[in-house]
Amino acid sequence: MNLPCLGNGHWHVAGVGGVGMSALAQALRWTGGRVTGSDRFLDRGTELPVFATLRAAGVELVPQNSVGIEPGMEALVYSTAIEDDNPDIVAARAANVPIRHRAEVLSALVEGERLLAVAGTAGKTTTTGMLAWALERVGADPWMVDGGGLVAWASSEGGGGNVRRGAPGAPWAVELDESDRSFLRFHPAWSIITNISQDHFELDEVRRLFAEYATHATEGIVCGPGVAEIIRPAVPASLPVVTPDATLAQASDGTWSAAWRDTILSVPSPGRHNLWNALCAAELCVQAQQVAPADVAAALRTFPGIVRRLEEVGGGPAASGGIRVLDDYAHNPAKIAAAWLAVRPADHAGRVLGLWRPHGYGPLRSMLGEFAETFSNLLCDNADELWLLPVFDAGGTASRTISSADLRNRLPPDLRNRVHLVSEATSPGWHESLAAQVAAQARLGDTVLVMGARDPALPLLARATARHCAR
């Protein structure tokens, strides 16, 4: 099937190893055209798992030195993370090759289709996966482009779990990104907005952006807690703005469930925030696709989880000596707090040993106070511990005048003895060394939580920690 809004010639994706870019590269293969991709980690000899996924999907991987650029090709596709002096960008300009932002290409990909979009400061990847999973389980055969892979679909042959090719005319479940304002390019039929909080912009700007985005929906919006009152004044009175009507309850074992539309909704993914993600996905299935609530609830009870969203990579007596190890994408204060609290034992019988890598100098600088407050709250009145890794350096022109030590110094003095500064996280094998250090500190009943975005070595760190804890 050639998608009518895109050409089926040669597309080149710069930074193809990123979660969003790898998804788009696989989706571009649906046009029937040739897709090449480059990535700096490939040039450094770092064989990320996503590269095997891309090759299996028919994406040709080439060095990031302009070899992927040729006159007459459809376009070079880039993301906001790609610098202007990138060799592929420079070569495309010289050859008069169209240079298209990822969101521009994705919006063309879904043009004319029934778009069920998911936006929000946090939870959008998981909610998109829940929406696609539920629609697939009830027979809707959806398309999906997501910022993370479903664990069950990632293990399937030939896919990373972050894209799904559906049936002609079926709805598209797509995650949209507010970090570079690119979600304003889309006009979904229905959209979920999971939540609105400070992340990439100051809070007033975040609220303004989401209010503007809400006006792009043509049929309705499903809201997480607190969202409706922010966007309602901006949208026409005739547009449905729905917050799921549910009563949430937490069991003695820490699991959450909700009484919703005369049924009980629950998901295997831990935490109150994941139950709200599920409620938003379920409500959208009912509102936009007229799926029976009981059928949605039955589907979501089998949700397999998202790669790097509280993904359990080791745990339990059989797997890792009674020490649970989880991997999560959490990178801003709200996501860190949600992940940490979700895995903390309800009876405080074990500790949370958190490992976090700031994903950029700019975000650490702009939210330093919020990060300090979050970690102070998480570490007070318990025995939890934190390992702070160095800021992930993606190159480019970022100001490197802040470090993880600055964050540690903002914490109360009585907590700093439980905050460990990791001095090195770039040399070969660093993750094995750090994993051994953490495992030596872990005790039966503890939970190790690895957190952070952008650094592809973090999943390797999580799995190395699970191996060391199992010894």
Q: What is the mean pLDDT of residues 135-151?
A: 94
pLDDT of amino acid 114: 97
pLDDT band at 159 (very low <50, low <70, confident <90, very high): low
Between 145 and 50, where is the model more confident?
145
Domain ranges of the chain: 10-102, 110-300, 311-469
Bridge-based pairing state of the strands 75-78 and 163-164: unpaired
Q: What is the mean pLDDT of residues 211-217?
A: 96
In this structure, of 122-131, 200-209, 418-427, 445-454, the range with the lowest mean pLDDT score is 200-209
Q: Say if domain 311-469 classifies as CATH 3.90.190.20.
A: yes
CB environment 285-318: b (16+ within 10 A), e (fewer): bbbbbebebebbbebbeebbbbbbbbbbbbbeee
pLDDT of amino acid 198: 64
pLDDT band at 317 (very low <50, low <70, confident <90, very high): very low
Residue 351, pLDDT above cutoff 80: yes
Residue 364, pLDDT above cutoff 80: yes
Asked whether the CA dihedral 410, 414, 415, 420 is positive or negative, the reply is positive
pLDDT band at 3 (very low <50, low <70, confident <90, very high): low
Residue 1, pLDDT above cutoff 70: no
Residues 254-294: tens digit of each pLDDT: 789 999 999 999 999 888 999 999 999 999 999 999 999 99
pLDDT of amino acid 2: 44
Q: Structure tokens of 89?
A: 């960008």
Residue 148, pLDDT above cutoff 50: yes
Give the N- to C-terminal CA distance of the chain in Å, as an integer.
50
pTM (two decimals): 0.84
How big is the CA angle at 83 (ends 34 and 364), to the nearest 5 degrees?
A: 125
Residues 174-205: tens digit of each pLDDT: 999 887 788 999 999 999 999 987 666 677 88
* CA-only gyration radius of the chain, Å: 22
Phi, psi dihedral angles at 301 (to 5 degrees): -65, -20
How big is the CA angle at 65 (ends 64 and 68), to the nearest 5 degrees?
A: 75
Q: Structure tokens of 121?
A: 């400061």
The CATH topology of domain 10-102 is: Rossmann fold (3.40.50)
pLDDT of amino acid 348: 65
Q: What is the mean pLDDT of residues 32-57?
A: 89
Residue type for 209, please?
A: L
Please, are residues 466 and 325 in contact by the beta-carbon 8 Å criterion? yes
Any alpha helices (H) in 215-271, and if so which ranges?
Answer: 228-231
pLDDT of amino acid 318: 42
What is the chain's mean pLDDT, rounded?
91
pLDDT of amino acid 155: 61
pLDDT band at 320 (very low <50, low <70, confident <90, very high): very low
Q: Structure tokens of 277?
A: 């993600």
Residues 12-27: tens digit of each pLDDT: 999 998 888 999 999 9
Residue type for 423, please?
A: S
Q: Structure tokens of 146?
A: 């997501």
Same fold, 10-102 and 110-300: no
pLDDT of amino acid 113: 95
Q: Structure tokens of 85?
A: 């002096």
Any alpha helices (H) in 328-449, and if so which ranges?
Answer: 333-343, 361-366, 368-379, 404-410, 430-441
pLDDT of amino acid 203: 77
pLDDT of amino acid 36: 97
pLDDT of amino acid 4: 47
pLDDT band at 352 (very low <50, low <70, confident <90, very high): very high
Q: Say if domain 110-300 classifies as CATH 3.40.1190.10.
A: yes
Q: Structure tokens of 396?
A: 């480019």
Residues 63-109: tens digit of each pLDDT: 999 999 999 999 999 988 788 889 999 999 999 999 999 999 999 99
Please, are residues 279 and 271 in contact by the beta-carbon 8 Å criterion? no
Q: What is the mean pLDDT of residues 30-44?
A: 91
Between 398 and 226, where is the model more confident?
226
